[in-house]
Chain A
Amino acid sequence: MNSLIDVENFSYWYSNTKKPALKDLNLKINKGERILIVGPSGCGKSTLILCISGLIPHSYSIGKIKGNITVGSENLQSTPPYHLKNKVGVVLQNPSAQLFALKVKDEIAFGPQNLGLPPDEIKQRVYFALEAVGMEKFAEKPLTELSMGQQQRICIASMLAFRPAIMVFDEPTSNIDLKTSRKILELIDQISNSHNITVIITEHRTKEVSKITERVIVLNNGEIAADDPQILKDITFCNKYGIQPIGVSLYRSLKAIKNSPRTLEVNNLSFSYDGNTVLTNVSFSIFEKESVGIMGDNGSGKTTLALLLAGILKPKEGTIVIDGKPIEKYKRKETIRKIGLLLQNPDDNILTTKVSNEILYAPWIQRLSDDEKAIILRDILDKMDLIEHRNKGSFKISYGERERVALSALLVSKPKILIFDEPTTGQDYKHKRLFINLAQKLNETHTLITISHDLEFLSAISTRTLVLDNGKITANQVNQNTAQNDSKRVTTESVLHSLVEN
């Protein structure tokens, strides 16, 4: 049988680089196959996605290509993906960055309009695509009113309007909570079945995605390291390449915190934006050197809570007390010595274009002398293992490194409490583990509050978990693995699971 996609001796170099991002790649993909591509950050996954979807060279054309990719019998380098007989649709990372129209139906109609199709045909395709993703009632809605999961559905629909034979997904669930991402994966499965679409997915959440894929390809340094559906069960292999193996959790044992003074107290906290209630009567307290996880789905009010705790938003009702004093009584200079907040996306935490300037932002604001700044910089670079990057550009370093830089910029103010808002979004297994180790180290000197929808990660990082659901705290649970009993580790995750399901 002839394969649908044929990658032959394919190499790719980005402009101004000597090392190829993809090296002599050979890959045959058959019609109807569903493939999961995994590998550590920088392994070439995203580049492969861009090449197979034709965005390289039809959108990004300044790199160098050797070899061929053919789809059906047509060469992808000479024909754009949307003009092929077997069309290729691509859904990139971060749905909100891909949508641009004002209304849902206009977003989906954009593709067929570009192909110059007649109005009736466009309308038919728009409603076909909306029906396929179960969003037919949302045709007239503005895109700004949609949730993350709904936006992802619209991204998928806007590609389905091309009637593609192949669909490529680059981390389709990286910004989405577990419940929603399961639904998105179900949807991909269903579309693939009912329209006979070949699916290629890259994803760090191997456990969930491998349920719907039948072939697993491991990429490393631009080469195929394995092409075996059973490979994710091979724990030594997975650890070598920094991929999350199936059936192993990020468990580590933690010490429960007892009898330490309360450092943060939240009493009857309520908050609303433009008349929409986000938090209602939230009360909890956190002890010194404790590591607390706050879990909740997208839109449950987690980020608002973080902004309130860091003193960026002001509470409408209720109080936040840090070390016996209400937060609004502190001056800004004093607040940053008490509490530091790392926002969700490390990119959003970057204010300057150079690593050393980024780290020294707070000392610069406080007008410390150059000598003082040099000492602070040396200490923090050493502690965070960033010395080799000190003179690099803030956006030239990897995602994980950028997060460490943003964290360093907080640590220079020596805050007692650190809040992490979704610190592992879009990060691979290796970085997740590195972050857990880093957090463990920081926990010796700091109180940690970690906000996440990743159950496994939370159960590995926190000694206690608060569950936030629709702006209310619905559970406040000491984690089982603090009992130092290995047999109970399954319970922690499953207990958290059951909390979420309810």
Chain B
Amino acid sequence: MKEDLNYTTSGLDPRVKLIASFSFLMLITTIHDAFILFLSFIAVLCAWILAKLPVKTVVSFFKGISLLLAFMFISSTIFSRVMPKEQLMFIEIINLPVFGVIGIYEEVLLATIAFSFRTLSLVSVALLVALTTEPSKTVTVLRKLRFPYELTIMVVIAIRFIPLIVDQWKKLTAVAKVRGVETDGIRGRIKSIRRLFTPLIIHSIRRSAQLAYSLDARGFRSAKNPTTMEVLHLKRSDFLLLIFAGAQIALSVLIVLGVVSFQNFSITQWALNSIKF
């Protein structure tokens, strides 16, 4: 496992970034049109490029998520059974003797495409915020948002402990190997996980006891209101992003209220119709 990511920090205030990503989340959950959701995903990708995220991270992210999305896409288009209130378009794929007709409802297909792009946009926005914010700043933000201090420290310790646990796991595997445990191959790995899990927990507990002393020695929970070293100030770019976030929230409220609707000029519907004829 890689021990630390290289954080490309943006100059934006993490609080504003958080608000902007939540407003984006609000907006895209109110939109159901596949093409507009596709555009929103493209917009997030543009932000990725602007943030100059390392190509390696981007590629590995898409590798990870594409498998999940492909699975979701196939399963929901094939197995969704919509009870039609009105006539739905049905595209027949194959007519099997025992199973009957297997095909896709056009509406289901469209909904799935929309859903996929929504998921993609959501995850990539979350990743964008995570990769452009220093973890220590995140802590400051959580503190400013009145997140309990103990929980914030727990989050930090959890992040910090991952490489240590990996290291401990390597040591335990080495010890098991010198005592003749076969850890290579899939069977060996599964077996060694079963055998080494308990010692790993024991070692982690012992380690956390040591850490507890260290935290107490430094006055953890001694003051009612612990302060932070970093002070956050809003800049001009932050205000611009805030305005943008406000616009997104306003738009989503209007959509929910039915004032604005994409139903009448659905680009996706138009595109599909023109393909058919």
Contact = CB atoms under 8 A, between A and B. Distances in A.
Nearest to A114: B219
Interface in A126-176: 126, 142-145, 158-159, 162
5 contacts: A82-B217, A83-B219, A92-B214, A110-B218, A162-B219
Interface stretch (B44-52, B60-68, B121-129, B157-165): B157-165
Contacts of B230: 119
Contacts of A111: 218-219
A105 interface: yes
Contacts of A266: none
A333 B202 contact: no
A324 interface: no
A73 B229 CA distance: 32
A116 B227 contact: yes
Interface string A363-386: 001100000000000000000000
Contacts of A119: 227-231
A115 B214 contact: no
A82 B218 contact: yes
B276 to A, nearest CB: 54
Contacts of A343: 171, 174-175
Given A92-B213, A122-B227, 6 more contacts: A59-B216, A98-B210, A105-B136, A106-B229, A119-B230, A351-B172
B220 interface: yes
A111 B182 CA distance: 46
A98 B164 CA distance: 12
Interface in B165-222: 168, 171-182, 195-196, 199, 202-203, 206-207, 210-222
Contacts of A81: 217
Contact of A102 (B135, B202, B215): B135
A116 B214 contact: no
The list of the 10 closest CB pairs from A to B, nearest first, reads A59-B216, A116-B223, A98-B214, A114-B219, A82-B219, A111-B218, A109-B229, A362-B179, A97-B210, A122-B229
B179 A361 contact: yes
A69 to B, nearest CB: 16
Given A98-B214, A114-B218, A343-B174, A144 B4 contact: yes
B225 interface: yes
B69 to A, nearest CB: 30
A101 B158 CA distance: 10
B225 A116 contact: yes
A348 B175 CA distance: 8
Interface of B: 3-4, 134-136, 139, 153, 156-157, 159-160, 163-164, 168, 171-182, 195-196, 199, 202-203, 206-207, 210-231
A103 B138 CA distance: 13
Contacts of B134: 103
Interface residues of A, number: 70
Nearest to A91: B217
A501 to B, nearest CB: 31
Contacts of B172: 348, 351
A94 interface: yes
B199 A117 contact: no
A263 B139 CA distance: 56
Contacts of B173: 312
Contact of B160 (A82, A94, A100, A110): A100
A366 B181 CA distance: 9
A409 B177 CA distance: 12
Given A53-B217, A119-B228, A310 B178 contact: yes
A332 B219 contact: no
Contacts of B3: 142, 144
A82 B222 contact: yes
Given A97-B211, A100-B160, A109-B229, A115 B175 contact: no
Nearest to B184: A332
A307 interface: yes
Contacts of B178: 310, 312, 336, 340-341, 410
A98 B211 contact: yes
Given A102-B159, A348-B175, A59 B217 contact: yes
Contacts of A80: 219, 222
Contacts of B217: 53, 55, 59, 81-82, 89-90, 92, 159
A68 interface: no
A494 interface: no
A410 B176 CA distance: 10
Contacts of B224: 116
A348 B171 contact: yes
A312 B184 CA distance: 11
B261 to A, nearest CB: 46
Nearest to A54: B217
A82 B221 CA distance: 12
Contact of B180 (A96, A142, A341, A366): A366
Given A102-B135, A142-B4, A348-B172, A59 B212 contact: yes
Contacts of A123: 229
Interface centre among B4, B174, B195 (most CB of A within 10 A): B174
A443 interface: no
A100 B180 contact: no
Contacts of A206: none
A353 interface: yes
Contacts of A118: 227
Contacts of A280: none
B136 A117 contact: no
A287 to B, nearest CB: 22
A450 to B, nearest CB: 16
A336 B163 CA distance: 28
A492 B124 CA distance: 63
B175 A349 contact: yes
A306 to B, nearest CB: 9
Contacts of A332: 177, 180-182
Contacts of A159: 217-218
A350 interface: yes
Interface centre among B156, B157, B216, B230 (most CB of A within 10 A): B216
A114 B223 contact: yes
A115 B222 contact: yes
